[in-house]
Chains A and B, each alone.
Chain A
Amino acid sequence: MSIDLHSVLGEITERRRNHRDMKVATMTVVVFFSDSGVGDWARDRTHALAVKHPSRVIVLDGTQDHAMQVVGSSCDAHADCVKTRGDWIELGVRDSGPEALRSAVSTLSLPEAPVVLIWVAAGIGEDPRFATLSERMRTVVYNSSVLDSDDQALRELMTFVKAHPNVAICDLAYLRLAPWQESIALFFDGKDVIRELFDLRRVEITCGSDSEAYYLLGWLASRLEWTPCSPNAFCNRFGVQIDFSIQREGRARRIRRVALKSSGTEFVAEVDDDKAEAIILTVSGEKEHARRARPINNVDIATLVERAILTGQDRVFVESLMAAGDLLQRRKVNA
């Protein structure tokens, strides 16, 4: 079913005429969700993004029919908003097909600015709406861990990336790992400790949802040329086995602890609780090192999206995703 945008366009024109338009436009943000349970989350995070970046926001609400059409300002629901007044458009698209969505987004997008799609829905592997919209986007932002569907979202993402290698896509679950990646890399900086990296025998991850754990394992595997050799182990290129375990604990989308063990040294990065401001790094055993602390810097979604836009196609992300996918495949076969 097509979407009648006549009244929406009229309202946008009226708002510009009344000097309520923005001065600078950095992008058009298109948000799609089809589950009312994540609608508030999606709106709230997109509001936070629109307050920082003067954008035109197009919310495609897959839970409402086409009678629902709203045109407002990104400031309307946000007390922090002083300078930026981006347009905020909501459309009910429950009954709309991919071409209707594509047409609506094309009509409503700002012509000079990049378009970013934030997709908060499951089933991307089989959803033609996602495939159609994502092909026209500068960046596609996915969030595999917000759906809390174990590893299904990650599998779908991997399938999609394999089928659409030219779409610049990122996953917030992966972007959130940055402080942990930095902390783990830091363990092995320096000539006296780098050998331990190639002598790792065990990895233990404790976190609140699966995507982050698989991404971390995928990242390590892709960097160190590990391949899955059992449902709970990788093997390095010399055939040495590296066992791993994932323990689910704490808040969703938050890592609590990562431990890496070589034959003589244990490297542990952990936080005390979900609200901790620092990752505590301890190294015990042969390569013992003074206790250290690194800020977590749980950056907001606006910063993550900005990073995603700047990064474009992230090779390390894709390789980490593929390695995580190989692992999931191995576990599925054995299950």
Chain B
Amino acid sequence: MIQTPAQPGGDGAAFNPLRAGIASDRITDPCSIVFFGASGDLFKRMLLPAIYSMRLRGTLPTDFALVGFSRTGYTDDAFRDYCKQQLDTFMPDGQKPQGELWEDFSRRVSYISADFKDGTCFTQLKGLLEKNDKDFGTGGNHVFYLSTPPPVFPEIVKQLRTCGLDPHSNETGWTRLVVEKPFGTDLETARALQRTIERAFPESSVYRIDHYLGKEPVQDIMALRFANTIFEPIWNRNYVQSIQITAAETLGVEERGGYYDNAGALRDMIQNHVTNLLALVAMEPPISSAADDIRSEKYKVLSAISPPAYDEVGAMSVRGQYGPGTIDGHQVKGYRQEDDVAPDSNTETFAAVKYEINNWRWAGVPFYLRSGKRLARKVSEIAVTFKAIPHRFYGDSTDTIDPNMLVIKIQPDEGIAMRFEAKVPGPKDHVRSVYMDFSYGIGFGVQSPPAYERLIGDVMRGDQTLFTRWDAVERAWEIVTPVLETWTNTKDFSFPNYASGGQGPQAASTLFPGWRQL
């Protein structure tokens, strides 16, 4: 019996009974994808490999075209050669570009050498996209991916609108805009960028990307909470003592000193990645898995966090900046000695904040967020510490009975660990902590795709679930603004205040003595 199948994308696709029930992974519509900033680092390291990996897995639409749009002066052929070189460098063995698949892929790659302020370049782009529709069957569907430096975003969006490449002007297919982070540098610039975007693109066609949300363990937070019955009943103020979220790196600023010195850890990590993790951990159960049902719950929980008063900033936040030290046995220089960093820089490379969520579920439970560079260990995780037992009768009075802890490990070891107490074998009633440690690498045989691959596929399918809605972006900026402004306007004379390879500034332990050891 023929039944109505789910169609790729759904926009005007004709009924195809062969699509019903076949084991096809994440079908997407045919489309052209335009990468603004295609000669940049993000494109060559992350985006191009993600696209090519999708091609190898079969998740990229077969009717597809890629357009590079950047200032560097490539011809189409030179850009194809450039793409091949980058894929040779960044794709793992066994997935290097070669054979029929590469030939087919490279035929679909073209390039426009452009000045972003020159409208004729966008007219040229429009013509190229129409040609792609004709030559490669891309169906009038266009993804515009902003991977340029953020100051260029508004100009590109304006030009797309002026040249009739906005969604309202597209009569044959769909048009989607992907905006890389950071979305603004503060609340004011974020709002200004949003005003520019919304003149050309409705919210339903805007995909604000935070690649953290494409990581499998991050997506598993919702599965852990809402696909099990054992966690949700204790996921509240009655059982949870505190929640700490850590995004720690051993790397310094590498070649990004110029960018980072104008950003800092609060803008670079806390305002987006870490706050998004908090929203996933703390939100209420959505009524469905529909993108806006989930995004509404995330926004609601952020709305329940009151931005601190300016005179409270000192008590609820800690900043730090790394000095010289040792990482993995190697001496490394301090932040102020990094390239393109001011020698008296006041930029924080470590940030820790304490938030409280003022709602029925979480009132009184502190959420501690920290992120930093040049710390002892690379780790991203969420640790939920449960309350202590109400009455103890095990062990001597000197025995410690640690509270239960659930750790959601995001990287580098993806998995979930549970700490609980067990009796030490022997005649005496001693207990000590033991761990159950689940690793994704062991538990599932199939490797999950890298975050960018997942997210680009979602853009092509029109699934906004893992992309941040404007109201949540704006709210995240509102929450962080008092801290940001206080730190910007006051110089921290203790900088550098932690050695590379350590746990961060001492003051972080004052804010929260219970941080997990890095």
Residues in A lying within 8 Å of B, measured CB to CB: 22-24, 26, 49, 52-54, 83-84, 175, 178-179, 181-182, 184-186, 188-191, 194, 197, 220, 223-225, 272, 276-278, 280-281, 289-295, 297, 302-303, 306-307, 311, 314-316, 319
Contacts and interface: CB of A to CB of B under 8 A. Distances in A.
A49 B18 contact: no
B12 A191 contact: yes
A297 B438 CA distance: 29
Contact of A197 (B16, B103, B444): B16
A311 B22 CA distance: 11
Size bracket of the B interface: 35 or more
A302 B19 CA distance: 24
B55 A185 contact: no
A304 B23 CA distance: 10
A114 B137 CA distance: 45
B107 to A, nearest CB: 9
A179 B58 contact: yes
Interface of B: 1-2, 8, 12-24, 30, 55-58, 62-63, 99-101, 103-104, 135-137, 139, 437-439, 441-446
A84 B442 contact: yes
B101 A191 contact: no
Contact of A188 (B12, B18, B56, B99): B18
Contact of B99 (A189, A277, A307, A316): A277
Given A188-B16, A277-B100, A292 B439 contact: no
Contacts of B57: 295, 297
Given A53-B445, A54-B442, A223-B17, A190 B139 contact: yes
A49 B444 CA distance: 11
Contacts of B62: 186, 281, 292-294
Given A181-B22, A181-B24, A293-B103, 12 more contacts: A49-B445, A54-B442, A83-B441, A83-B442, A178-B24, A181-B23, A189-B14, A189-B30, A190-B13, A190-B137, A224-B2, A302-B445
Given A289-B137, A290-B135, A303 B101 contact: no
A24 B14 contact: no
11 contacts: A24-B442, A83-B441, A83-B442, A181-B18, A184-B18, A185-B22, A197-B17, A224-B18, A225-B1, A276-B100, A303-B446
B445 A297 contact: no
A300 B438 CA distance: 24
A297 B101 CA distance: 12
A223 B3 CA distance: 9
A316 B19 CA distance: 11
B53 to A, nearest CB: 11
Contact of B21 (A188, A189, A294, A314): A314
A181 B139 CA distance: 22
A75 to B, nearest CB: 13
Contacts of A84: 442
A295 B446 contact: no
A312 to B, nearest CB: 13
B101 A194 contact: no
Contacts of B20: 223, 316
B101 A293 contact: yes
Q: Which of A190, A224, A307, A314 has the most CB of B within 10 A?
A: A190
B56 A292 contact: no
Contacts of B8: 189
Q: Which of B18, B24, B444 has the most CB of A within 10 A?
A: B18
B365 to A, nearest CB: 30
Nearest to A181: B22
Given A182-B22, A277-B99, A194 B442 contact: no
Given A178-B24, A277-B99, A292 B445 contact: no
B445 A185 contact: no
B439 A24 contact: yes
List the 5 closest A-B pairs by CB distance, nearest first.
A52-B445, A316-B21, A293-B104, A185-B18, A278-B100
Contacts of B445: 49, 52-53, 302-303, 306
Contacts of B104: 278, 291-293
Contacts of B135: 290
Nearest to A220: B18
B438 A24 contact: yes
Contacts of A190: 13-14, 137, 139
Q: Which of B139, B439, B442 has the most CB of A within 10 A?
A: B442
Nearest to B18: A185
A197 B18 CA distance: 9
B172 to A, nearest CB: 11
A184 to B, nearest CB: 6
A307 B137 contact: no
Contacts of B443: 24, 26, 54
Nearest to A294: B62
Contacts of A224: 2, 17-18
Contacts of B63: 292
A280 B442 CA distance: 36
A224 B443 CA distance: 39
Contacts of A272: 100
Contacts of B100: 272, 276-278, 280, 293
B23 A175 contact: yes
Q: Which of B13, B14, B99 has the most CB of A within 10 A?
A: B14
B55 A295 contact: yes
A83 B413 CA distance: 13
A295 B58 contact: yes
Contacts of B56: 295, 297
A67 B441 CA distance: 37
A255 B445 CA distance: 26
Contacts of A297: 56-58
A49 B446 CA distance: 11
Nearest to B438: A24
A186 B24 CA distance: 11
A200 to B, nearest CB: 11
Contacts of B437: 23
B96 to A, nearest CB: 12
Nearest to A299: B446
Contacts of A311: 23
Contact of B101 (A26, A277, A289): A277
A278 B23 contact: no
B504 to A, nearest CB: 31
B24 A194 contact: no
B462 to A, nearest CB: 16
Nearest to A184: B18
Contacts of B24: 178, 181-182, 185
Q: Which of A23, A278, A289 has the most CB of B within 10 A?
A: A278
A183 B17 CA distance: 14
A2 to B, nearest CB: 34
A178 B139 CA distance: 24
Nearest to A303: B446
B23 A307 contact: yes
A220 B2 CA distance: 11
B324 to A, nearest CB: 36
Nearest to A180: B22
Given A24-B438, A190-B13, A307-B23, A290 B137 contact: yes
A54 B441 CA distance: 10
Contacts of A83: 439, 441-442
Contacts of A316: 20-22
Nearest to A280: B100
A290 B138 CA distance: 11
Nearest to A319: B1
A223 B438 contact: no
B3 to A, nearest CB: 9
A23 B444 CA distance: 13
A126 B491 CA distance: 84
Nearest to B27: A182
